[in-house]
Amino acid sequence: MTPIIKLENLSKKYGTFYAVNKLNLNIYKGEVFGLLGPNGAGKSTTILMMLGLTEPQSGKALICGFDATTNPIQVKKRVGYLPDTLGFYENRTGLENLIYIAHLNGLSEQITIQKAKELLIRVGLEKEMNKKVSTYSRGMKQRLGLADVLIKNPEIIILDEPTLGIDPKGVRDFLLLIRQLSKEEHLTVLLSSHNLHQVQQVCDRVGLFVDGNLIAEGDIPTLSKVLLKEQSYTVEIKLQESLQENSSIIKTLLLKSEDIKKVTLQNDSLLIYCTNDVTSYIAKTLINANFNMQYLHIKEYGLDDIYQRYFENKNENNKQIA
């Protein structure tokens, strides 16, 4: 399958500093892809290069087959971009604002009004479309922004921190809407965020940016494997016997398995970090040693945990090096 977005060795330098460093990434039609990373990681710079709004030092951004640097007009026709700050005519209604944008995009007079109304209904602004934008909440403005982006029938939409400042229900509804649009209309969505939980809810795949580098990409289980490497499964157990008294014998027993990398005591349970799912081995080993198990479960990692543990591990390694 040909990717709809193809970034090849894309780099951007400010002075001597690389904001984006040799980025390679393929995104396919109909995917919801999350650009995730802390402040300053290079997400917005990457988006600007994809839109042809800033030139890369080296490499290429191919969008729907067009080079964003040499052919930004073709790219602009196919991509809808929702920046993190929106500007509307506040004393005009949502419908008037949308019609204005439709005209700017060259849509004919006849189809504009009908299409604008349909879109405002689609994004959930049916009741508010004839109210002035000055009366809109942040969430409503974001929906209007989405309608602005969709009116030119883009193949790709790029949303920069789209849920900033919206209340939790608004965020949920907005993300659901994006997911629906992508799945029903086969729209490719690129979403930049530092909110892991939101990205996890809505994205098919995620790319994790740190200091201008894409350090991992994939779905959540893949990211977990790549970032946590040898410790991507954690099994938590609790025994009827005292773990304080028995922890060293248990560690010796369990660490005989090559798949078990670390065993730590945490409060009154034992955390066993493994490369694979070895729960049955753990259970058998402990039962054979006459321990009585109170519970055993595999801890599922969300993006939040993966991210936090990745940075914890990195800091630990840095400390060890220093």
Ligand X SMILES: Nc1ncnc2c1ncn2[C@@H]1O[C@H](COP(=O)(O)OP(=O)(O)OP(=O)(O)O)[C@@H](O)[C@H]1O
Q: Measured from the CB atom, is 78 or 194 closer to ligand X?
A: 194
- Does 40 sit near ligand X (CB under 6 A)? yes
Tell me the window of 43-51, 70-78, 220-228, 253-261 that interacts with ligand X (CB under 6 A). Answer: 43-51
Measured CA to CA in angstroms, residue 139 lies from 92, 130, 135 at distances of: 17, 17, 12
Give me the residues paired with residue 27 across strands: 5
Q: Which two tokens stand for residue 185?
A: 């209309």
Tokens of 283: 């259970």
Helix (H, G, I), strand (E, B) or coil at 77: helix
Between helices 109-122 and 138-150, what is the axis angle to 10°?
Answer: 140
Q: Does 10 bind ligand X (CB under 6 A)?
A: no
How many helices and strands in the chain, by DSSP H and E?
11, 14
**Interaction between residue 240 and ligand X (CB under 6 A):** no
Distance CA 90, CA 108 (A): 24
Q: Binding to ligand X by residue 19, rule CB under 6 A? A: yes
Q: Does 44 bind ligand X (CB under 6 A)?
A: yes
Binder among 42, 94, 145, 154 for ligand X (CB under 6 A)? 42
Q: Of 20 and 116, which has the nearer Cβ to ligand X?
A: 20
Stretch 184-213 residues interacting with ligand X (CB under 6 A): 194
Piece of the chain touching ligand X by CB under 6 A; list 40-48, 74-82, 234-242, 247-255: 40-48
Provide the β-strand partners of residue 18: 13
Taking CB under 6 A as the binding criterion, the range among 33-41, 198-206, 225-233, 308-316 that sits at the site for ligand X is: 33-41
CB of 54 to ligand X, least distance (A): 8
Q: Report the nearest approach of ligand X to the CB of residue 27 (Å).
A: 17
SS3 (DSSP) at 260: strand
3-state secondary structure string, 226-237? HHHHHHCEEEEE
- Record the tokens describing residue 119, joined without a space: 């879109």
**Position 39 contacts ligand X (CB under 6 A):** yes
- Which CB atom, from 19 or from 159, has the smaller least distance to ligand X? 19
Which of 173/211 has CB closer to ligand X? 211
**Which is nearer to ligand X, 179 or 194 (by Cβ)?**
194
Which CB, 164 or 226, lies closer to ligand X?
164
Q: Choose between 38 and 221: whose C-beta lies nearer to ligand X.
A: 38
Tokens standing for residue 166: 């919206």
At 246, is the secondary structure helix, strand, or coil? Answer: helix
Residue closer to ligand X, measured from CB, 41 or 68: 41
Among 45, 112, 142, 200, binds ligand X (CB under 6 A): 45
Please identify, among the stretches 42-50, 86-94, 142-150, 268-276, the one whose residues bind ligand X according to the rule CB under 6 A. 42-50
Distance CA 217, CA 237 (A): 31
Q: Within 10 Å of residue 276's Cβ, how many Cβ atoms?
A: 12
Judging by beta carbons within 10 Å of its beta carbon (0-12, 13-18, 19+), is residue 220 exposed, middle or buried? middle
- Name the site residues for ligand X (rule: CB under 6 A): 14, 19, 37, 39-45, 194
